Amino acid sequence: MASESNGGLIDATGYIKHHLQNLTWGQHPDGHWGIAHSAAEATEMGFWSINLDSMFWSILLGSLFCLFFWLAARKATTGVPGRIQNFAETMVEGVDNIVKESFHGKSDLIGPLALTIAVWVFLMNFMDLIPIDFLPETAKRVFGIEYMKVVPSTDVNVTMGMSLSVFALMIFYSFKMKGAKGFAAELTMHPFSADNKVVQIILMPINFFLEIVSLISKPISLGLRLFGNLYAGELIFILIALLPAFAQPLLSVPWAIFHILVIVLQAFIFMMLTIVYMNMAFESH
């Protein structure tokens, strides 16, 4: 266990930093491209680097999600459904009911989008329940990989990438449903309005400032909320792993049980906010 091999403060600090470091690939200062062998090298690579472990696990989990529902659709029957079909139908019907209650427009995109987000985010969050050293140590011993973070939702690049994708859909459908004039009016004629045209013109900059801040805060809060909750949960698991072996089960098991609620709740919140934001994009005043 970590507590057995990390007796001092320096070792404990190194253990924490190691587990919070992604497997990063990018351009080194001398111009060649490759994998970073330390946190300092990863920082030097700058914006255009990529976290290979986050990409690998998120794509793998997304592929498993697609494979599961493909198998469920392939084996679907009008008779007595099997376990896979029954579970898939329960998921689809549950998300569909939530969409019907929260989304008041007409779109064939929102249901599949909500289902994809709910299941994909849940699977990424679920990786936090795997023992903290199991997959990183396996990757190190089998493949010689020094760094391996297995929870994609603890990488702000992943969570912000998903939230910015939702934001792009919001902007697209805002223009499509309201038109450029309607969308501009939404940003400049609310929350303060007046019948007098001169007063309207005076209020436009104030309205635009308030509305643009509100608009931009949506993807930021959406991505950072998921990242912050899962990052904190992962950090607590790392700290528990530093305790003596006899104390670890006493804390890790209760925290894992509590964390099950966190990973489900965060997936649900991300899905719900996506539906709400898309509903706002489809609304015309």
Catalytic residue among 38, 107, 165, 225: 225
Catalytic residue among 63, 86, 221, 284: 221
**Beta carbons of 142 and 209 less than 8 angstroms apart:** no
Contacts 24+ apart (CB under 8 A), 141-146: 145/23, 146/23, 146/37
How far is the CA of 112 from the CAs of 15, 64, 100, 158, 271, in angstroms?
Answer: 40, 16, 13, 20, 11
The phi and psi torsions of 50 (rounded to 5 degrees) equal -135, 140
Catalytic residue among 3, 58, 174, 229: 229
221 is catalytic: yes
225 is catalytic: yes
153 is catalytic: no
What amino acid occupies position 180? A
How far is the CA of 189 from the CAs of 6, 202, 209, 238, 283, in angstroms?
Answer: 60, 11, 11, 50, 15
Nearest partner of 225 among 131, 170, 162, 275, judged by Cα:
162
Positions marked active-site: 221, 225, 229
